[in-house]
Amino acid sequence: MTSASRETSDMDQIIERAMEQNPQSRDLLKAFGPIIARQRQLTASSKLPQVDYSSIDREKLKAGIPVGGQINLFSPDDPFTEIALSLAASVKEGMPKLTEGIDRLSDLISGGKLQLADYFKRDLSNENKTADSRIEYLNISPSNASFLMSLIARVILERRAHEITEIMGGWLTWEKGYCPVCGEFPSIALIEEEGGKRFLHCSSCGQDWRFTRVVCPYCEKEASREMNYYYVENKTQESAFVCEECRKYLITLYRAGRLHARDMDISAISLVHLDMIMQGKGYEPMTSCAWNILE
């Protein structure tokens, strides 16, 4: 069995297990499953040009400036078109209702009318995640374009996150609740059974980092009495961390052992019922993902 086949098989098992544990999320997992599986394959197999990481300033990291705030993590030579067309096929597989819009995007990309390198050539200070104004005149659905761009970005950023982690030798000096690589807030957290350490996960680049349990990742409020965990039924390994100071929540898992492999994005999607409950109570997620925008 090839490495790619083995990764596909592992992901299929992870998705199937998530469906069994949270059947209410089956449709959502079926929709996003093919996309996430393809992203993982592309992250492992895509050949990206080298990026110069020598200008990463450790002092700036200590001051809370992520790598993405110091250098551009996208290269004009990244294989945007190949990644986009591959992901477009998986979007149509999981979300057939988007086929017409995705086909139009694919035609524009393959025909060279939509230059993805231009889309990702943005100022480091630009935090706008919506579709770039350069595509408006092409009569493209902004939501479809933004969705596909975010999927492309995840593949490239996750590969770069792996490279940066190897270079930095870990993130022992990072003390912020947002991602040390791209600067996004976490979509889900994992608390280890042994030692009770909390790790945050970034859905934008796949990076995980350790963060204290007594501080809210979003507003950095340190007051345990203003922080709560909400559970559903008797599923104490699945919860939502809530901060009453900023009214943000964070889906949180407790890991009891390492018997099965886990994908944190699949886990987040499978627990979308917690998103529904928390948003119904007036709380907001620490970051918006394609699966937790429920309005």
pLDDT in tens, 144-169: 999 999 999 999 999 999 999 998 87
pLDDT tens for residues 199-222?
Answer: 999 999 999 999 999 899 999 998
Q: Is the pLDDT of residue 100 over 80?
A: yes
Give the span between the Cα atoms of 61 and 94, in whole angstroms: 38
So what's the pLDDT on residue 7?
Answer: 61
Does one domain contain both 196 and 144? no
Q: Is the pLDDT of residue 172 over 70?
A: no
Domain assignment present for 131: yes
Of residues 10 and 260, the one with the higher pLDDT is 10
Does one domain contain both 236 and 266? yes
Of 252, 247, 245, residue with least CA distance to 211 = 252
As a three-state string, the secondary structure of 240-260 is EEEECCCCEEEEEEEECCCCC
So what's the pLDDT on residue 131?
Answer: 41
Measure Cα distances from 150 to 8, 57, 154, 290 in Å: 21, 27, 6, 9
Report the domain count for the chain: 2
Expressed as residue numbers, the domain containing 12 is 3-168
Does one domain contain both 60 and 162? yes
Does one domain contain both 122 and 22? yes
pLDDT band (50, 70, 90) for residue 134: low
Q: Is the pLDDT of residue 9 over 90?
A: no
Mean pLDDT rounded to a whole number for the chain? 88
Does one domain contain both 91 and 48? yes
Count CB-CB contacts under 10 A for residue 24: 12
Give the span between the Cα atoms of 206 and 188, in whole angstroms: 11
Tell me the mean pLDDT in the region 43-65. 93
Task: Please identify, among 133, 168, 203, the residue that sits at the C-terminal boundary of a domain.
Answer: 168
Q: Is the pLDDT of residue 12 over 80?
A: yes
Domain assignment present for 180: no
| Range in 6-10, 76-80, 86-90, 177-181 with the lowest mean pLDDT | 6-10
Does one domain contain both 75 and 38? yes
Does one domain contain both 35 and 139? yes
Count CB-CB contacts under 10 A for residue 282: 7
